[in-house]
Amino acid sequence: MTRTRTILFWVAAAALLIGHVVVAWHSLVVWRFWEDEAFNLTVPRNLLDGLGYSSDGALSGSTITPFDPRISTGPVVLLPVAALLATGMDPVLAARLVPLASWVALLAGLALLGRRIGGRWAALLAVAVPLAFTASAGVSPIQGPADLLGEIPAAALIVWALVVLPRRAWLAGLLVGLAVQAKLIAILALPAFAVALWVLSDGTGWARIRDTLRRSWLPLLLVAVPTLLVELAALLSLGVSGFIEHLRALVSFVRSGGQGDAATTVLQKLGTLADSWSLPAALAVVGAILAVSLTVFGIARRWHTATEAERLVIAYALAALIGALAFVGWWATASRLPLWVRHPAPGVFAFFPMIAAAAIWAVKGQPGRGVVRIGGVVAASVLAVIVAAGAAVHVASSFAPRGHTLETQRAAIAPLMDWVDENEVEWLAADPWGAAVAPIVLTGAHVGLFDAPAMAGVPRLTGLPCPAETLVDAGLYRICAAP
């Protein structure tokens, strides 16, 4: 029986590995390079061109904008991209290899946490959950693990912070600080770490609180270090007055999420999250209820009798529940934010797999063969089937035909790139924001927004008919004279 289980485990592990490779490969070289990726790429490109840590400012007046608050993907992601670009590598590959490496780190960390929590099957389930999740729908997606975005790198750093937390809390604090400088929203992970430190602290009552505070001050200090260094660099670069304006713009961006009032409701947000799995929403909801219920049951049953090893698992399980609640709760109640599942995605990638692993742990420790034990096994099995089915559907969807791929994009951009080089064009205006942004960046020109005053008289790139003279027509895109 043991040998059969071992064979089944390795067959499932191999299938899961193949599924991840398929999705990663399509994300790296098949799926189109889209506007948020392209806008982020302007920062490492400008850095190498001697313009400092600056974006093209397409959403900030369409001028070179140092430390642009509209670039919420941070230097922890973009500086390594600049290093790869400096080698002369293709810009899309340079842009996407860094997030893809973060995806590998995320999966490795989840496998390690899953094994600590509930053994090898829990590890397998934890690694499968990110493959069942898909944030590719909507106008602001995560197409795949290689997108030049900060959500997956932030999630990977949060997971590895949890890995090192029991023995090196200071390092966990530093990793969370780096996660914040991968994606600002990672700051919402702090309550999860506070709860985990409290569970791992010694004593009871006020004694435990004092021990928690003693353990927390250095990690909390180190959380702030990466951000302080970035802001110090901004101060030295911008000067005092420019730095004050930068802080005001950053605060405004954080408070608004960079959006207007989307007037969304909690139910709409939760419905969007349920739809962001590669299965019908009803099955996703069933899986979530099973995972959370089993995890809470496992914590409650062991809370007063936990061994040292079980206390670590309880710390992880509670951190996962609190972390998931922080990300999803913030997004769901922020009515000004649109229905973009990208916003809570770092928490989904980091904490949802841990909840699934904790559900397996809750069942494994249940003694006997009574109704509770059998019910738990059935519930955990249903959860595993739901996750496995979602992962399989996601992998299969990677092969679905796409009208617009990186290959078609490159083919359409080639004549535009030649025209930009021949005419030494420095700026192009995107008309409108969206699909026109990535082609501009890939031509090598700076990208502005067509209605910005700074873009008056600048040629426009569009997929629409030209309102004025057509300067070059590549079919999918064309460059028009400024009207």
- Going by pLDDT thresholds of 50, 70 and 90, the confidence category of residue 366 is low
Is 47 inside any structural domain? no
Is 148 inside any structural domain? yes
- Going by pLDDT thresholds of 50, 70 and 90, the confidence category of residue 213 is confident
**Average pLDDT for 227-248:** 94
* pLDDT at residue 139, as a whole number: 76
* pLDDT at residue 207, as a whole number: 79
Is 58 inside any structural domain? no
Does residue 193 sit in the same domain as residue 340?
yes
Is 56 inside any structural domain? no
Does residue 323 sit in the same domain as residue 437?
no
- Going by pLDDT thresholds of 50, 70 and 90, the confidence category of residue 365 is low
Does residue 393 sit in the same domain as residue 411?
no
Range of the domain at 257: 2-30+72-397
Does residue 177 sit in the same domain as residue 92?
yes
Is 63 inside any structural domain? no
Structural domains in the chain (count)? 2
The last residue of one of the domains, among 369, 397, 425, is 397
Is 38 inside any structural domain? no
Top mean-pLDDT range of 249-253, 301-305, 422-426: 422-426
Tokens 């990690």 belong to 219
- Check pLDDT > 90 for residue 370: no
50-60 pLDDT tens trace:
999 999 999 88
The last residue of one of the domains, among 363, 397, 431, is 397
Does residue 430 sit in the same domain as residue 382?
no
Is 111 inside any structural domain? yes
* pLDDT at residue 369, as a whole number: 62
Is 202 inside any structural domain? yes
- Check pLDDT > 70 for residue 367: no
Does residue 24 sit in the same domain as residue 118?
yes
Does residue 363 sit in the same domain as residue 415?
no
What is the Cα Rg of the chain in Å?
24
* pLDDT at residue 473, as a whole number: 92
Does residue 435 sit in the same domain as residue 315?
no
Q: Which residue has the higher pLDDT, 210 or 148?
A: 148
**Average pLDDT for 434-455:** 94
* pLDDT at residue 368, as a whole number: 55
The last residue of one of the domains, among 397, 415, 449, is 397
Does residue 331 sit in the same domain as residue 207?
yes
CB-based burial of residue 136 (10 Å sphere; 0-12 exposed, 13-18 middle, 19+ buried)?
A: middle
Does residue 327 sit in the same domain as residue 241?
yes
Does residue 299 sit in the same domain as residue 196?
yes
- Going by pLDDT thresholds of 50, 70 and 90, the confidence category of residue 386 is very high
Helix axes 2-29, 120-132, angle to 10 degrees: 30
Least confident of 63-67, 140-144, 343-347, 355-359: 140-144
6-63 pLDDT tens trace:
999 999 999 999 999 999 999 999 999 999 999 999 999 999 999 999 999 998 899 9
The bridge status of strand 478-480 relative to strand 470-473 is antiparallel
Does residue 319 sit in the same domain as residue 421?
no
Distance, CA of 94 to CA of 80 (rounded, Å): 9
